[in-house]
A and B are shown apart, each in its own frame.
Chain A
Amino acid sequence: MNAPDTSTRELPMIECVGLTRRFGKFTAVDDVTFSVARGSIFGFLGPNGSGKSTVIRVLCALLEPSAGTARVGGFDVVRETEHMKPLIGYMSQKFSLYDELTVRENLSFYGRLYGFHGARLRKRFDELVAMTHLEPYLDRRAALLSGGWRQRLAMSCALVHEPLVLFLDEPTAGIDPVARRELWDLLFDFASRGMTLFVTTHYMDEAERCSKVGYIHLSRLIACGLPADLKRLPEVNPPGMRRIEVACDDATSGLRVLRGVPWVRSATAFGQSMHLLVDAAATDDALRSLLEENGIGAVDVRPTGPTLEDVFVSLTDRANGGAR
């Protein structure tokens, strides 16, 4: 067994260089390069079918790359698979569990699979149950668990062997907000204890919580970095433009008015307010009077920064424009 080696601390826990995977003529992942430092949470975003799951599967040695290399925990996923496997945990999109088995039996099975027996198995079992609060459901069949509990059980199973790297493929799809928040609390806790997390998600608020994010679009990684760095990219903050948040008493009508104005580059609804990208020359007063002319009052203008959603929208537009 490979004990965590302090000398690898400075090396990235996950590293892809020019990673490419083709299925026949279709290229699912195209020349993807990124790295994830130990103890960080990497958020991997992108629309369905963009190649997120394929990247995870290559990193978990479930698929072989067509080109490029991938290393996890310092081990090559193709040539050093057997060394790599004990280091990783994987929670698939479907929360793959054995429906006929109870919660207790599912956990015991994965424990045994990773070589736990007797007292060691019991000790690890108790730790996992305490951590995920699965206690009341121990004798329930996995088939009868609700989404949130299935996800907890699947995560416990993936954590049985205390992996250094945990891959979670859309862990929060279809679960309630309470379970979602509790999951993230756990993930932060793991990260603080040195575990490296690789999480795919569709939720922008989850992306904001990550220490590093990557955005994959049409099989290519079009953005990768710390959320703060991404928000400072020039593509996201075009020169001569500024971002403002505008609160008013009728945001829906406001959007309709503003979308026809040449100095408004983009306008997005955000609850009762609007996020705008406008020419730096346009003043708040000009905006306020324009809205009031159209019968919209209680206008309050505040400067704001880009959200990660703004980042991904800008970069996607640019990628699509480049393709055209």
Chain B
Amino acid sequence: MSVFRGFRAILYKEFLVVLRDPFTLFLMLFPPLIEMVAFGYALETDVRRMRTALLDEDHTVESRQIVERFVNTDTFRIVERVGSSEELAAAVRKGRVYVGIDIPPGFSRDLAAGRTARIQVLVDGSNSSVAGSALNTAVAVALKESMARLALAAGTRELPFEVRPQMLFNPAMRSPNFFVPGVIGVVLQIATTFATAMSLVRERERGTLEQLFVSPLRRWGLLFGKLVPYLFISGLMAFALFAVMSGLFKVPIAGSAWVLAFATLLYLFALLALGLLLSTRAQNQMQALQFSMVFVMPSVFFSGFIFPRDTMPWIFRSIGSCLPTTYFIETARGVVLRGATLADVAPHLVVLAGMGAGLFALCALRFRWKLG
């Protein structure tokens, strides 16, 4: 107990200070929720029900049927019918619609005569994900129609090939399922590291640290006393974020919530220990804030949050390997989406625990129990 001397006193004081300092509490709790919702929606890459303009110059049963096939994919939504190809082009150019479908006169006549019936699809290429999705769907619709007609013409009922893909985990291919666990990892990183960094630097600035050094308090007592209240608060915050995930974004947790909670605590401990470590270097609160922000960008880009790590150059992949966020996101995706068990994610948890313990020990070693 002796190396932790003073732990309970610091714990008592730190909880009071945190609760009395609405600004820090606000900075810890509010932005993460906003960021979570904003990130979650902004990273929505599912393209559905795109605004589409239609120019039907054929006016036949067949033309109406093919338009219906387009609409049935749920990718297109006809919001406008135009009378000329100029109007169609203008609708796309002015940004009123993403897609323009032009069925030229003689479409059904060509079809009946066994000639290639042409449909023109105008796509707004200024947004690549929208364009790609529109293109793929349009081509798929045409291909499927063609195959059906060829089969009919050949008198066969069955198609020669069929691939039956079965999507495991996230069958609806919803992007929130993929992104939101990562968003939680990044948001927690932004919100926690600075808190412990600031809190220790503030004591240094105010001179209260000097007062603590004179007391029989030991460094482990001080560091744990500083860390635990923030672990508690950021734990609550993580709980709120996971609640938003399953409530607002409708991402169910496939695996055990306990495993997820355990992984989150290990992750938070590592982040808070990092904050304490930064505070041993920072001269003032501004620097503490800047130091903790240095870790945010790599955590966004190299953790596999947005870009798959496997396709990264080795240097970025190595940076990612040093970040706790990388292992947390892997674990969270595993548990939330694939229903991974404790044994499945154990390697990641071991790394997280090691990072936390290592950072904390480093911090205790580096922390100078002296002034000057």
Contacts and interface: CB of A to CB of B under 8 A. Distances in A.
Contact of B21 (A61, A90, A100): A100
Interface in A127-174: 141, 157
Given A57-B371, A94-B206, A113-B6, A62 B13 contact: no
B216 A98 contact: no
Contacts of B208: 96-98
B211 interface: yes
A239 interface: no
Interface in B168-220: 206-208, 210-217
A113 B206 contact: no
Contacts of B366: none
Nearest to A106: B13
B18 to A, nearest CB: 9
Contacts of A101: 13, 16-17, 20
B370 interface: yes
Contact of A98 (B13, B213, B370): B13
A208 to B, nearest CB: 29
A218 to B, nearest CB: 20
Interface string B1-33: 000011011101100110011000000000000
Contacts of B6: 113
Interface in A214-266: none
Contacts of A105: 13, 16
A85 B20 contact: no
A88 interface: yes
A63 interface: yes
A99 B203 CA distance: 11
Nearest to A88: B214
B216 A62 contact: no
Contacts of B214: 60-62, 85, 88-90
B372 interface: yes
Contacts of A86: 216
A90 B215 CA distance: 9
Given A94-B206, A98-B13, A101-B13, A113 B212 contact: yes
A109 B9 contact: yes
Given A62-B214, A86-B216, A113-B215, A92 B207 contact: yes
A230 B20 CA distance: 51
A110 B211 CA distance: 10
* Residue in B5, B12, B211, B213 with the greatest tally of chain A CB atoms within 10 Å: B211
A63 B371 contact: yes
A138 to B, nearest CB: 15
Contacts of B20: 100-101, 141
A56 to B, nearest CB: 10
Contacts of A90: 210-211, 214
B213 A62 contact: yes
Interface string A58-99: 001111100000000000000000100110111011101111
B292 to A, nearest CB: 22
A98 B17 contact: yes
B16 A96 contact: no
Nearest to B209: A96
Contacts of A109: 9, 12-13, 16
A109 B14 CA distance: 10
A5 B9 CA distance: 29
Nearest to B215: A113
A92 B206 CA distance: 11
Contacts of B371: 57, 62-63
Contacts of B8: 112
B12 A112 contact: yes
Given A82-B216, A85-B214, A113-B217, A94 B12 contact: no
B216 A100 contact: no
A100 B16 contact: yes
* Residue in B6, B9, B207, B212 with the greatest tally of chain A CB atoms within 10 Å: B9
Contacts of B16: 100-101, 105, 109
A96 B9 contact: no
A63 B207 contact: no
Given A96-B206, A112-B9, A114-B215, A62 B17 contact: no
A1 to B, nearest CB: 10
B207 to A, nearest CB: 4
Nearest to A83: B216
Contacts of A61: 213-214, 370
Interface string A102-118: 00010011101111000
Nearest to B2: A82
Nearest to B24: A100
Contacts of B216: 82, 85-86, 113-115
B207 A100 contact: no
Nearest to A94: B207
11 contacts: A61-B370, A64-B370, A92-B210, A92-B211, A93-B207, A98-B13, A105-B13, A109-B12, A113-B212, A113-B217, A115-B216
Given A101-B17, A110-B215, 15 more contacts: A23-B372, A57-B372, A63-B370, A63-B371, A63-B372, A64-B370, A82-B216, A85-B216, A90-B211, A92-B207, A94-B207, A100-B16, A100-B21, A113-B10, A113-B212
Interchain residue pairs A-B with the least CB separation, the first 8 = A112-B9, A100-B20, A96-B207, A113-B9, A90-B214, A94-B207, A109-B13, A96-B208
